[in-house]
Chains A and B, each alone.
Chain A
Amino acid sequence: MSDPSRPAVTTAPPAPVLPPGRASRRGAWLGTAAVLALVLVYLTLWWGWASVHTAERYRQLPPGATGNRGDADYTVLGLQRTDRLRGGAGERPQQADAGTTFVVAAMSVTRRRSGPPLLCSVDLLGPGGRLWSPTLPQVQRAAPSCDTDDVVVGRPYRFESVFVVPAGDADQIRGVALTDRTSAGRTPVLRPAG
């Protein structure tokens, strides 16, 4: 008869002991599965990161704010829409083609330190992520377009960029984009104050 005050002692059957060859094979399979799982995790993370970062992303800054790209700070002083670009004295204005209009961005850039040539080209961001590069006016403008050689470290330099956009998009301009193809970060988008 068993004593009820003492816990019953059950004897488990002894664990099967795998022969050394089978044990090492199981370890090899587990190792392979672990490596495959790690590769899968890496591919998933890489695919997720790439799908997020290959599409251009933007960060709208408050009106009048300064945005930086590389070693330079940029400010939009004015953003003006016009159908006629005025040139120098005696020059006929350049008329926008049918269905298009000009958007003139007056810019200021301040270089913080000297280094490689300054990238001062800026883009114009429109509705739905439409992005336009600056155009070369056919008239002599009073304000210069950005010339790297004229930018002195620490001194604000004013220039203008002229864009040709579809007339239907001109009222939905989001601002000037400081596009930087070397960066995966969000592109700052600037608007003038006021």
Chain B
Amino acid sequence: MLYQIFITFFKIGCFTIGGGYAMVPVIQREIVENKKWISQDEFLDAIALTNSLPGPLATNTATYVGYRMAGISGAITGVVATALPSFLIILAIAAFFTTIKDSTVVQNIFRGIRPAVVSLITYAVIKLAKSIGLKTKNILISLGTLLGMIFLNIHPIAAVIVSGILGFFFFREEAAEK
């Protein structure tokens, strides 16, 4: 079983380019449709729950599925197998990239790529804003975090903690009003 878990999540780790939600269909096909390890409903519940935790979606999902299949050793096997492909690839790139990154060609390529990274992240911000919904409380927390980080140099971890506390009081009140 542990070997099965390892092979499956190693494969998932190899093909999840782009990160985040791009990984969901890949994991789903492998775990729910091919292996039939857990049901579709359980998979969606597990994604919703583990995705609300910190950390990469792929390793969190591997923890859940690995645990369900073979307990704690299954969970550890799943996480290691998921992270291993990207670890090995980046290791190879890191060793190689540091030797070529100062060449003019590579420099010029990356001068073009850097603004594209900003565009990709801007697009992610727009998509995320749409999925969260532009309600007053959300906008207040988002803007407060953004301005606080840019102008007051607030640490992102402080922003997470403060907004979690604010969320607790805001949304408890909202739930009480209903």
Instruction: Report whether chain A binds chain B.
Output: no
Q: State the A residues within 8 Å of B (CB).
A: none
Q: Which positions in B face A, CB cutoff 8 Å?
A: none
